Structure 1
Amino acid sequence: MYKGFSSGMLGFGGRKIEEDIPLAVKYGYGGIIIDIVEESKKDPAQFNDLLAKNKLKNGGFGLPVEFRQSEEKFEEGLKKFPACCEFAQKTGALRCITWLSPASDTLDYKSNFELHKTRLAKAAKILENHGIRFGLEFVGPPSSRKGKKYEFIHNLATLDELLDAIGASNMGYLMDVYHWDLAGQSYKDFKKIPGKEWVVMAHINDAPAGLAPEDQQDLERELPGATGVLKIGDFMKGLQDLKYDGPVYVEPFYKPFKTMAFEDALKMSTAAMDKIWTKWE
């Protein structure tokens, strides 16, 4: 596995990759996630040269198709998706990820399951045709389901049911230690994962101290290793045991970053990641 750079995951969306690449190199990152819609407007050969010159891997991209809203919006996004995937295939962006809402006020579990199965299978097929793996992330905190009429996928077991129902050979997990831990998953659950190809991408962070698991809020987190609330050591060991070879990104939703310059926030994030990383190199 390698350290992945993402300004967006640190809360600084909208930056250009040409701005970020020098900082990724400066702070020792091995790869960088891309905005597939924006970057696919460029010449793939020139984009490859840019990454190669800076010795960075293409760390994948987020699914640009909106599958949680209307059928019309979904189909509209799906029509544009193959062009994005062609660029991704040519530039080595062979990891695509998205997240699943853990509850709904309008769809019961069965109806929601069928919607996700049908729509995500279509996206998975296009990705599969371009040699791209597709990782899904469950949202684990109980607070994310509180007050909603219907619960939905929010742990490994229920996510596996969806993956089995879709049946695509290129599908697997986006694994976030925050969701993993707060869903009640543990190191032993890594034994249920058939192989490293099932882990498409990984996120690390920590949770605020002094809160019960049911009181943790999804968008209020800490830098990796800051509090020791999450079992990040077990999480990293599980990835290492699987021989996971993809990117690991910091996604902290860390409030102090909102008032900081990007490079200052990056320095803090990198320092936190490096403390964790030295144990697993």
Structure 2
Amino acid sequence: MGENITIIEMNFKRLETIEMLQGLTTAGIGKLESDLQLIELASRYGFDCVDLDAKSLVDRLGTEEAAALLQASNIQIGAIGLPVEWRGTDEQFLEGLEKLPSAAAAAAALGCTRCCTYILPSTDAPAAHFMAVATKRLRSCANILGAYGIRLGLEFVGPHHLRTQWKHPFIWTVQETLDWIDAIGEPNVGLLYDAYHWYTNEMSVSDIRQLRADQIVHVHINDAKDIPVQDVLDNDRLYPGEGVIDLAGFLRALNDIGYAGPVSQEILTAAQPTASPEELVIRSRTAFDRVFQAAGLIQQ
């Protein structure tokens, strides 16, 4: 195995995008030993960034050692997750909000400027009340993040089965999310734009080209099976280029509007992959090369 990996590493040259950063999340990389392994593998196989918990890394290594590791690995932190339960009770929200400044401080200390969360497309709470409460809560989160120079990305979620998973329909389109961002009213709030949700909303590249780059905080990339769109499940994703999503068009459109941030792979599956993290990162490297080459956004 070791000899084969060495040969593969020699064949994987770092491919430079025009501006976008190629990144990994933990989703689709199997059973990692730690964030340190994710950083090491991402660096070895030519990725630019990883999405992880900056505070956990700082707590483990200290700020200086964590920053030195990232610099030596030529890896950035693409985004952290929002460590606040803004969908639940007041007690849950306030408990998380108290921890947000330390999470933001750790991220900022490591040069991370993005924090993301997702919006489920249905809710058991009455939708109007839920939106009123959540608007105030996300505004509070954005205020704290903004003090540390961090943007908040909201991810609309498109799969049809989740639109009726709970009692009341909520938000699942780009325009609805943009309208909500306007209502939140903080300048550091924008979109987390996921190719899977773009596809399950049956959108086109022209929809992306109608956006401004500054409206997008972060991007996720993945692929979908060749089945009717209404049957596509959120936790049944493929690696980029292994399915039917027009990822070349997706990436070209993002490039055309000037998006220059991370494009991080997120492969949600019902069962954890059985292959090793290294094998899965190699598979991911091949996937990124395939779709970025198809989009005309890399040079060898």
Same fold (TM over 0.5): yes
Instruction: Check conservation: 1:36, 1:62, Cα contact below 8 A.
Output: no
Are 2:120 and 1:101 aligned?
Answer: yes
| 1:256 to partner: Cα distance | 7.8
Structure with the larger RCO, 1 or 2 (CA within 8 Å, 6+ apart): 2
Instruction: Check conservation: 1:98, 1:136, Cα contact below 8 A.
Output: yes
SS in 1 for 2:115: strand
Corresponding residue for 1:114? Answer: 132
Are 2:185 and 1:164 aligned?
Answer: no
Deviations 1:211-251 (A, max 9, x none): 21111111111111112x21212211121012211111111
Instruction: Check conservation: 1:89, 1:130, Cα contact below 8 A.
Output: yes
Instruction: Check conservation: 1:257, 1:265, Cα contact below 8 A.
Output: no
Corresponding residue for 1:213? Answer: 229
Deviations 1:83-114 (A, max 9, x none): 11111112111111110111012x22211211
| 1:13 to partner: Cα distance | 6.0
Instruction: Check conservation: 1:125, 1:168, Cα contact below 8 A.
Output: yes
Corresponding residue for 1:180? Answer: 198
Are 2:68 and 1:49 aligned?
Answer: yes
Letter in 1 for 2:239: L
Identical columns (%): 32
Corresponding residue for 1:29? Answer: 47
| 1:277 to partner: Cα distance | 1.6
Change (3 A) 1:257 1:81: closer
SS in 2 for 1:10: coil
Corresponding residue for 1:248? Answer: 263
Compute the RMSD of aligned alpha carbons: 1.7
| 1:257 to partner: Cα distance | 5.5
SS in 2 for 1:53: helix
Instruction: Check conservation: 1:156, 1:185, Cα contact below 8 A.
Output: no
Number of residue pairs the alignment of both structures matches: 276
| 1:193 to partner: Cα distance | 1.7
Q: Which runs of 5+ in 1 are unaligned?
A: none
Are 2:31 and 1:16 aligned?
Answer: no
Distance in 1 (alpha carbons) for counterparts of 2:241 and 2:137: 37
TM-score, normalised via structure 1 length: 0.92
Distance in 2 (alpha carbons) for counterparts of 1:137 and 1:255: 20
Letter in 2 for 1:206: D
Instruction: Check conservation: 1:93, 1:132, Cα contact below 8 A.
Output: yes
Corresponding residue for 1:146? Answer: 164
Letter in 2 for 1:152: F
Distance in 2 (alpha carbons) for counterparts of 1:277 and 1:257: 26
Instruction: Check conservation: 2:24, 2:264, Cα contact below 8 A.
Output: yes
Letter in 2 for 1:25: S
Instruction: Check conservation: 1:11, 1:253, Cα contact below 8 A.
Output: no
Deviations 1:12-35 (A, max 9, x none): 366422222221121001112221
> Which runs of 4 or more aligned residues in structure 1 lie more than 4 Å from their structure 2 counterparts after TM superposition?
254-257
SS in 1 for 2:217: strand
